[in-house]
Structures are given as C-alpha cells and as structure tokens.
Structure 1
Amino acid sequence: MTMLAEVIDAVIGIDTHRDSHEVEIADVAGRPITTMRISNDSAGFTRLLAAITDLGPEIRAVASVEGSRSYGAGLARALSAAGVQVIECEQPRRAQRRGKGKSDAIDAHLAVLAALRLDADQLTAPRADGDREALRILLVARQEITVMRTAQTNRLRALLLAGDNTDRQAARGSLTQRSLAALAERELPAPAAREQLVRQAEIRRLAPALTQAERELKENRAQLLAIVDDIAPGLTSRYGVGPVSAAQAIVSFSTRADAATRPRSPHSAAPTRSRQAAAKPPGTASTVAATAHSTAPSTPSRSPGYGNCPRTRAYIDRRTAEGKTPREIRRCLKRYIARELYRTLNTAMTA
C-alpha cells in the first residue's frame, strides 16, 4: 500500500461553512505551512489558489475537503478546474477529536491528517456533477415529498377518524385517487356546525395535496429511471432493483468513475473504490439493505423483494439447514447483493 504522503508534497485541509472556509496548508509530515480563512465566493477561491501557487510551480498538492458536496461544492469545483486534486474528507469522529477540542482550525488540521493516512490508490474523490448530481437532487426531492405526504396522510386520517361513521370507514381504508377526489369535492349538508365546516375545509385542502404529491412522485420516478438507464444500462433489470434503489446505488457507489486517471492493473477491481468499501455505509450494501430489507422480519425467507427469488429461497434453505440464524443469513444476503450490484455498476459506469 502506498500512502498519500509518499506521492505528494503538500496537503490542504479545508473545513467548509456557509459563508467562509477554514484552510490549513501543511507539508507531508502534517506540519502547518500556512493557515487562512477564505470567503465562500470567487474572491476567496482565488485567494486560496494564489496561496497554492506560491508553494511552487512543481508542488504536488491535494485538497482534503470536508463537505465537498454541500458548502464546499463551489470551492471543490474551483480547485479541480485549477488542476488541484480534491478528495472528500469525512467529518471527524468523536474519538479523533478527543484531547484536541473543537474549532474550525482544528477541523482543518484533522482534514490534513486524515488525508495523509490514506492509501494513494483508494482515494475518495467528491461525487461528480452532471447526471449523478442530478440523481442526488432528485433523491433529496423525493425524500422531502415522501415525508410531507406521510405527514399529510396521517393528518387527513386523523380528521376523518373524528368524523361520522362514513368518515371513520374512509380513514381505515385506502386513500385512492378516486376517494381523495370525492373527499375534496363533497359538500356538507346544511346546517353544519362550525367544527364540521373547518374540518371539511382542511380535508378539502389535504386531499388535493396528496393527489399532487403522488403525481410528483411518479414524475420523479420517471426522471430517475431515465437518468439511471443512461448511466448504468441494465441496472434496473436486476431482480428487485427499481429506479429509486438503482439511483441511490449509483449515487452511493463511490466517486467519479470517470475521474480515475492514474494507471491501473488489469486485475484491479474498481476505478475508485474496493469491493469491500462498496459493501460498507454509505456504499452499495447499505443502500440495498435499506431498500430491500428495511422491513425484514425475523425469518429471512419472508424478506420483502427477495422472498420470491428462487436463488434466494434456495440459499436461505441451505443456510438454515446448516444452523445459521436468520440474522446471519440476512447479513450474508446483503453482502451477496452488494457484490452483484458492485460488479454491475463497476462494469456499466467504467464503460
């Protein structure tokens, strides 16, 4: 294993925030060369690039950026455009902070130290812009729509349960598009009490909102499917993989598959990440586990999505006969699923 410190001359640790970024430029021993606070705009980016240039024309520098896809997105783009390699730095864990305190300057220094300990052949670059960023935006939007729809559904059912027998029956049933339209259009018989009028007004507001949310989710799913098919053709044809789980797998798959420009052995498995890394959160394994097994009961043969797969059922039967517990079997299944998706993504996205 080649440590990053062996192939560079300087590392730039950056702790990002909304308005400003804390920066530390250090040598390969982790000794600070200079520190600064730059504004989160083009003027601040130019100031940092000038400081990097002052290090020397032949200096090999790497920027370790915490939050490169959020507050540090603009800075990461500016550094990459200037030819500075950017790697994603995870937020320091509590154990790493122990005895060091908490400040922006300390976090920038920890970003330096974290980078220097990395394997030069397994660097985690920021996730790419373009189609993969479009998927990420759509997934965030879908999560927001889903959370809001759930809250509105619960609110509507609560209002119906407080009504008459017909309303209570509707609350316990399925809220279909037809039933929602009927709830939005119905009129209360006169005379109606003020409480009934207010309740119906709220029902009339929530019912169309749920219909709109369902429409937005369908449009979101169609957009995800179109992008997924462009990035990784054939991925959604895998058993149990739909547009949403496929999109999350692509976003989590790691880093820019097209950004691995260093030479690779023909036997190396991945352009940017190992199979083992892909099986750990936030990699492919955690994505599949969350989508395919989130409601898995204690018996693995009843796991949703994969319970009807002949290969899975045969595997469950065999491992159960060997004395494996349901929890152990689920863990093995998740790892096998992660490996299959990893190979599929690696092949499709490298191509």
Structure 2
Amino acid sequence: MQKLKSEKHVHLTESVVRKLAQNRITTILEFLHEDSDKISNLTKLSLPQVLEIRSDILNKYSAPIVNGSTLFNQFSKKKVLSTGIVSLDDALDNGLPLGFITEICGLSDSGKTQLCYQVAINCVINAENTVLYINTKGDFSAVRIQKILEGMGLSHKDMALIMYKIRVVFIWTMEELIELLQKIKNKTIVIQNLSMIILDSLPCLMFQHLGDSNKTGLAYLNMMVNYSRYICDTFNIAFVCVNILTRWIEHDVSDLEDEEETVSISKEVYLERRNRCLGKYWQHIPVTVVILEKGQILMKPNGNNSQVISATVVKRNNLECYHSFTIVINDLGVTMQ
C-alpha cells in the first residue's frame, strides 16, 4: 500500500505524518484501519479533520460505487459475436461473448487452429468486420484459408477481400505481445471495424517462462490479461485465446487380497489426468472455455476424408456447464456433422 505523505491532504502536514510514523502508522491502509479517535489524540487533529482525511482517501482509492440498474444496463449492452457454426453458437448461447476472453483448449492436433481459421472467416465473410489474428507459432497458413474459401465457391475478388480483413501479425515473445496490446489500447495502432482478436497460441509464449523463480512469466501474463480485458471492454470485441491441454499419466499400484487364501496381489493402475496450461491464475481468466478432442476419421471414396472433433463447453459466462457437440474438419473447413 502507498505511504502516507504530507501532500495527500491539506491536514496531513509533515509533523502529523511524523507523529503517525512514530506510532507505526506509515501507510494509507494502516491509517484507514486505525481508530479515528486514536489518530485524533495522537496528531492533535480534531475528529472532523480526521474523518475528512479518511473520506478523501476513500474517494481517491476506492472503486466507484455502481447501483444495480446501472450495472444491469452495462451488462445488457454486452452482445455476442456469431461464430457461423450453428452447433458451437448453440453451445455458447448464440456466440462468442463480446467484451470478454474466450478460451479454446485441446490436446495437440485437436483442431484448435482449424476452428480459429473458420471462426475468423465466418466473422468477416458477410460483415464489415475485421479480425486480428495473432500467430505465435509461425504456422499461419494463408493457403488453408484460401482452400476453405474456394470450397465455398467464392470468386478470387471476394476471397481477396475476405483475406484482407483477416489481419495477421506474428509475435514471438510476451514482451512483443504486451507491446502490441498496449498500442491497441492507446490507439497507436487503429484497426478499423475490429470485432475479434484471436491469439494462437498463448502457451507458446509462456513456456519459456515456466519455472521462473522471479515470477517474470506471471507478471507478463497479468499484464497481458489486463490489457486484453481493457481492449475487450472498451472496443466491445471478442478475444479468443488458444490454450493447450496436457496429459499426465499417473502410475498407481493397489493391493488386492483374496479372502479365502489371503494372498496379496499387486495390480497396476494407470490414471490419466488432463490439465489446461498456464497455471492456477489463468484458470479463472476466461469467462468461456471450449475443449476440443479428436475423434474418428470419416473415410470417403474420393479421398476427401474428414476428421470428427468432439467439443465440450465446460465454462460459459463464468458458470460451469457441460454442453457437448461434434464438428467435422475437412477441405471445406469446419462444418457440422
């Protein structure tokens, strides 16, 4: 907490601050916690003067008071952005929430990037929207986007316009990501009709900071979250963050006893545990979480095979839920099964 200083208030003179420090009241928090009558006796200030100082400090440092109707109006303005995938929109209560962070998570090769491609295309195809696609893996495929658009039967002119509205930027470090978000926040970088930011993916930037004893990675993650939340709320856009699901196999040996012969038998048990990356801090950041899992492959005679993806919405609008559905990934992009 900040230190008490004489310039904080007209009654907080240097002599008053010195008397408070002699009684181990050196910070604003300690001043607020202390009894007003005791402070008045220590500093020789009148009780109304002490209460005036307390009131001024609370007005400066407390969160603004918002009544219920104002808060309801703020939330009622929040809308959703349709993904263009009916089953996903139904599971997400009509689409991605605007003003908040959404997480798409899954094991490696579970279709996370393919889903992001499709959502980006659907967002801009029939609207004056722009998508900022932040790629941290260096594997963004414009060819894949083009093939999906060709499968829709679009002309080269329409394809060029759609691909132009998907702005791609390559980021390699958390410092670069924070700098980019800061420039968007300060409007140093202005993207017309920005409706969604896709970050694919965040763990690629954070892995280099895992195990930091100085908590540098956590500090970077906290800054990224604060900037992202501000951008989402101020510009009323959707923010999609790709995360990775990890698998942990735990080996357990349990003893089974035969009741008749009392023979002890050791049975090996393997338990699988799956965790979302980025630690405990991140678990409460996204308001919506979609987990993808690769399913079976649908073989076609013409060789145009499809990959079935099982998707589950485990968190929606900050509430736990369990809404499962399936999607299919093929040359035409992401479709319903």
TM range (shorter): under 0.3
Greater share of strand: 2
Q: Which has the higher contact order (CA 8 A, sep 6+)?
A: 2
Question: Computing the radius of gyration over CA atoms, which structure comes out larger, 1 or 2?
Answer: 2
Greater share of helix: 1
